[in-house]
Structure 1
Amino acid sequence: MDESPPSTYEIAQVCLKAGKIMLENGGETYRVEDTMIRIAGAFGFPNAHSFVTPTGIIFSFDGPEQITRLIRISERSTDLHKVTEVNAISRRISQGQLSVAEANRLLERIDKASPSYPNWFKILSAAVASGCFLIMFNGQWHDFVSAFVIGGAGLSFLIYFHRVVPIKFFAEFLASLLIGAMAFLLLRIGIGHDLDKIIIGSVMPLVPGLLITNAVRDLMAGHFVSGVSKGAEAFFTAFAIGAGIAFVLSFYNGEGMA
């Protein structure tokens, strides 16, 4: 028995789900809009329109069955593997290899999948990266272990505070504050030697590099709303990190003067 043709609502749902997954996992605004429009065109709706901001997606079809949908994006993280998987599904749809039902099932599986890497692996990677950043910024090898431990602990603090504190910037401030405090403590007990280099290396995993990159890319592509909002988010993240470290350094300098 032949299956009934997909409805306009089902096609719109697939487009929105693809855009939602990409935007929630670090995809650029222009890429999200382009992917949604390509999927709609492959399913027979070439006159589709999408407007994407970091906090929401508006999508509509022109034609006799005009439909407009809006979804809210409340949580964002970084998982570029999911973005790559959605891109692969979009290409298969454009080549006519997937039906609406199959695409919806695959996208649902991606959306519900666990993050590509467990937290312990992220913490270990942050620890190694912190030590390497210390060396890159002309630190000494005898401070590598200090940066390794503090960098891993800093990301673990950030993950914990993100779960407990609903305000993202406050969690980043607390994590950077503890990074600075741990660096100061290791310096006092004689394990660390160069406070500045240890702190610089340890906070690098918290720096919003993807946000800054996406903000610049969106601005270059003419998406000024998304570019400015992502740039503002990156600025406040950097400000929260800097404020936490500045608080510790002010205490350290005050104690040195005393």
Structure 2
Amino acid sequence: MTDPRAPLTESLEVLLRFGALMLRAGDTAFRVRDAMHRLAQALGIERLEVELSTVGLTATGWTGGEATTLTRETGPPGVDASKIAALEELSLGAAAGLDTATLGAELDRIEKAAPLHGLLPVALSMAVASTAFSYLNGGDLLATGAAAVSGGIGQAARTLLSRQGFNQFAMTALCAVLASGLYCLIVIGFGVRTFAFAHAIGFISSVLFLVPGFPLVAALLDLTQHQTKAGVTRLFYGVLLTLSAACGMSVVAMLAGLAPAPAAPPPGAIEPLTVLGRALACLAGGYGYGILFNNPHRTVLAVALLSMVGNEVRLGLHDLGLALPQATFFGALAVGLGASLVRGRLHAPRIALTVPSIIMMTPGLFAFQTIVFLNQGKSLAAVEAAATCGFAVGGMAMGLVASRFLTERQWRYER
């Protein structure tokens, strides 16, 4: 006897597969929920309830008085902006009468799509981004060059380990040791025995590629949209990745005997040549991160421009005396508002434009101070540096959230 719920079961299976692919690519849970509801209507499901987290999905569908509940594991998370864009476009273009075979074939095509950028371009992009970050924050020629070499090699190692399915947390720690250790060897090889401010900046720049920007920002966005389960699990995932990188860097900092470097005071004015140099550095760094997250070149260019504008706002306000967290908030707000203007023309998800654009705002020096002070047992100083770092990172995320409240009605009102 044929089960009358078989068609509903097939529809839910393909819907759960779609949702799992979106979550694994790094999209926010509330976007995944919206996309699944659009596809459910196209598949003829009368009502759909979904519960999401980064480790699994559960969906209940109703059709013709019959209800079916299915669950599916998500799998290890990652970041792939091109897959996010393709999956969102698939849901937006779905029309009534869509069948599960057609949807399944489209998912096969998206899942099997090769990365847009190979190992060498991605490694070079991180070398460029590390160079730009070091220059922006005051690294000298030696520190900047060493950061470029170690950052590029570290990213190449991470890509190779990721292709082998290596544990993400162990991989992050190992790559942190590799990149920061190589940086120290290069700098020490040129006769440096005491790390000054510029060398501390280079040390952090060498591991900038390990910053888990996508999961941390996506977690906060989910929490503000009441996707608590997904937001909390993603937040802890991002925090654990950060701790893994910090542990690897701590080992190197301890072996190298690094000392904390004080932050340079704001100049109190904006110099035209400084603005021009920053613009070029931000443009290059944003372009590098756009490639890292597997965006197409048109989107990568938009990311570079947004990074340039946002960082000029942040650094300009900080030069004039505004505290770093508040300046970072306004810089991220500028990025978010800019992304609202261009995402429709590019057919790109907002998160694929905004997150790569704000990574260059990472408060690297205060992260360095936190690690070194903890190694030295100076808990109070470590907490102070960590608080400044945390508020600056929070400013990055909250600036993006504020831009959504200003530009999207669904964020201003509860549903």
Are the counterparts in 2 of residues 158 and 172 from structure 1 also a CA contact under 8 Å?
A: yes
C-alpha deviation, 1:32, in angstroms: 1.0
C-alpha deviation, 1:14, in angstroms: 2.9
Please state if 1:214 is matched with 2:215: no
Partner of 2:129: 129
Cα distance in 2 for partners of 1:98, 1:199 equals 53
Partner of 1:154: 154
Partner of 1:169: 169
The SS at the match of 2:45 is coil
Q: Name the amino acid aligned to 2:72.
A: I
Are the counterparts in 1 of residues 42 and 98 from structure 2 also a CA contact under 8 Å?
A: no
Please state if 1:199 is matched with 2:203: yes
Matches within 5 A, 1:224-235: 224-235=228-239
Deviation track 1:45-103 (CA, whole Å, cap 9, x = no partner) reads 2311111100111112124332221111222211111111111111111x448544322
Are the counterparts in 1 of residues 173 and 245 from structure 2 also a CA contact under 8 Å?
A: yes
Deviation track 1:161-212 (CA, whole Å, cap 9, x = no partner) reads 4456743212111111111211111111118784311121111111000011
Cα distance in 2 for partners of 1:116, 1:164 equals 19
The SS at the match of 1:66 is strand
Cα distance in 2 for partners of 1:126, 1:148 equals 7
The SS at the match of 1:222 is coil
Q: Sequence identity of aligned pairs in percent?
A: 24
Structure 1 residues 161 and 89: CA distance shift in structure 2, 3 A = closer
Cα distance in 1 for partners of 2:122, 2:258 equals 35
Q: TM (normalized to structure 2)?
A: 0.56
The SS at the match of 2:257 is helix
RMSD: 2.3
Residue segments in structure 2 that go unaligned for 5+ positions in a row = 1-5, 260-415
* Stretch deviating more after TM superposition (184-193 or 196-205): 184-193
Are the counterparts in 1 of residues 57 and 73 from structure 2 also a CA contact under 8 Å?
A: yes
Q: Name the amino acid aligned to 1:135.
A: Y
C-alpha deviation, 1:230, in angstroms: 1.2
Matches within 5 A, 1:35-114: 35-63=35-63, 64-93=65-94, 95-96=95-96, 98-114=98-114
The SS at the match of 1:62 is strand
Partner of 1:182: 182
Count of residues paired in the alignment: 249
Q: Name the amino acid aligned to 1:55.
A: V
Are the counterparts in 1 of residues 126 and 151 from structure 2 also a CA contact under 8 Å?
A: yes
Cα distance in 2 for partners of 1:19, 1:124 equals 32
Are the counterparts in 2 of residues 134 and 144 from structure 1 also a CA contact under 8 Å?
A: yes
Structure 1 residues 245 and 50: CA distance shift in structure 2, 3 A = same
C-alpha deviation, 1:248, in angstroms: 1.2
Q: TM (normalized to structure 1)?
A: 0.88
Are the counterparts in 2 of residues 184 and 195 from structure 1 also a CA contact under 8 Å?
A: no
Partner of 2:120: 120
Structure 1 residues 104 and 165: CA distance shift in structure 2, 3 A = closer
Cα distance in 2 for partners of 1:11, 1:146 equals 53
Residue segments in structure 1 that go unaligned for 5+ positions in a row = 1-5
Are the counterparts in 1 of residues 140 and 199 from structure 2 also a CA contact under 8 Å?
A: no
